Amino acid sequence: MDHAVTSHTAAYSRADLVVHRMWKLAVAHGLFGTALLLALGLRVLAIAGYPTALWFGDSVGYLRSALHLEPSPTRPSGYSVMLRVLEPFHSFVAVVTVQHLIGLATGVMLYALVWRHARAAKRRAWVPGALGTAVALPVLFDAYQIELEHLLLSDTLFTFLVVAAVVVLLWRPNPTWRAAAFAGALLGLASATRAIGLPLLAVVLLWLFLRRKGFRDAIVPAVAVAVAFAIPVGLYMTWYHRAHGEFAMTETEKTFLYGRTADFADCSIIKPRPELQGFCPRTSPKNVSPPYAALWTDQSPFARIGGGKVGGNEKAGEFAIAAIRAQPDDYARVVLRDTLRAFYLQRTVHPSPWTFQKYEFPAKEQSLSKRQAKVASPYARTDGRPVAEPYAGWMRTYQDWVHLPGIGLGALLLAAATGVVLRRGPRRRVLLPWMMSAALLVVPAATADFDYRYVLPAVPLGALAAGLAYLPGRRANRPVPERKAAERPPPALVEAR
């Protein structure tokens, strides 16, 4: 009889222990779990309303590179490699599903990092989860982020890789050389996806030397980052050399800098040599930015140059450098102006009306153009871009109301900077996401043009910086180790035993 009672009590105690642990898990992560499910539901709704991919001007080039497995001379083709991996599905729904999952994974990484650091503060069990959820909200619920994930563009993959690199570096208080190498490889992959990833290596190296006590302490992780970064970049350049005969990422990078200078270049001041006179900018069409007009309209000088942007790359770069040297104040003015555009309360039409429209969920079904159909048909056997109501209408309404305005991003970066100044806790871990976010805003404005798709990768890093800046400090009294405290059963179970 006593044995039966003891067995029953033990079984009851084990059951209560399981319930207790599940309750603690729900308290710790229930808020984020709920948010993640809601964010997943929004993406399912987006796929229901738009059961195919949304197209952008760059989409044709990415798909062409995927079909022929050949790097594009215009932009890095790391995203095309991902498209090639997904080609056996012959479905754009599969592509956007993967991209939506990548977006959710980005939010999960942000949450995990903030929760890990907040948990060390020994506050109430729900506090780390609440802080981590707050940091992940812009990635999970911003309607423009969801729409970007639905586009045939590299930005979602690029954002994931950059955020992953930052998370790896910040996972421990002092990153090991292995963590630094892993982060460097992720940044190298990001650079093979979008060229803006290249200058981010300099940001990481600067951060490593700022956060370390001395040069010798920083040199090992810095070398690990640089070497690991060089491996995927070098492999990509080798691939490019086999396809085009040049060791390069692209052969049009100088044309984008030329487009930047088209916003202010004055040939009466620059006095370019006769071979460069054709690059003197013209008046751009209404509502079209000068950089866009100089690169993508009929007014572009590359329309009159053999080989287009590839053929005119060197001369365009020569003109751009001459313009910057002759008009440094004007160059600084347009860079500052376009950087600040990211913080406007309302979105303005830029760089062109048709580009601006691509960032909104469409209201009408559209047929594919001949260029689009030429690459879409062999990839996914589709000939249209359907819109399914009422789900599409629900997503359009959601996009009208739920998104982070530019001033919100500015508030996040300002809050992070203020938190670093005011708090006594660890500051250096805030600097990395803050500097990365700022670089993602400034570099496009300095080397190309402002575009709203360039702003979105800066948002999760800005939110991360703000979240880390205001984490509660560690408590001085820690009588019970955290793991042992988590494993200790509640008093009721002790009495039952």
Three-class DSSP labels, 460-485: HHHHHHHHHHCCCCCCCCCCCCHHHH
What is the rounded (10 degree) CA torsion for 192, 197, 202, 203? -140
Local confidence pLDDT in tens for the 497 residues of the chain: 555 555 555 555 777 777 767 777 777 788 999 999 999 999 999 999 999 999 999 999 999 999 999 999 999 999 999 999 999 999 999 999 999 999 999 999 999 999 999 887 666 778 899 999 999 999 999 999 999 999 999 999 999 999 999 999 999 988 899 999 999 999 999 999 999 999 999 999 999 988 666 677 789 999 999 999 999 999 999 999 999 999 999 999 999 999 999 999 999 999 999 999 999 998 888 899 999 999 999 889 998 898 899 999 999 999 999 999 999 999 999 999 999 999 999 999 999 999 999 999 999 988 899 999 999 999 997 756 789 999 999 999 999 999 999 999 999 999 999 988 886 556 788 999 999 999 999 999 999 999 999 999 999 999 999 999 988 655 544 444 444 444 444 444 444 44
* Beta-bridge partners for 385: 366
**Which of 90, 86, 114 lies closest to 102 in space, CA to CA?**
86
Ordered DSSP codes for 379-414: HH---EE---TTHHHHHHHHHHH-S--HHHHHHHHH
Q: For the chain, which residues make up each domain, given as ranges?
A: 177-246
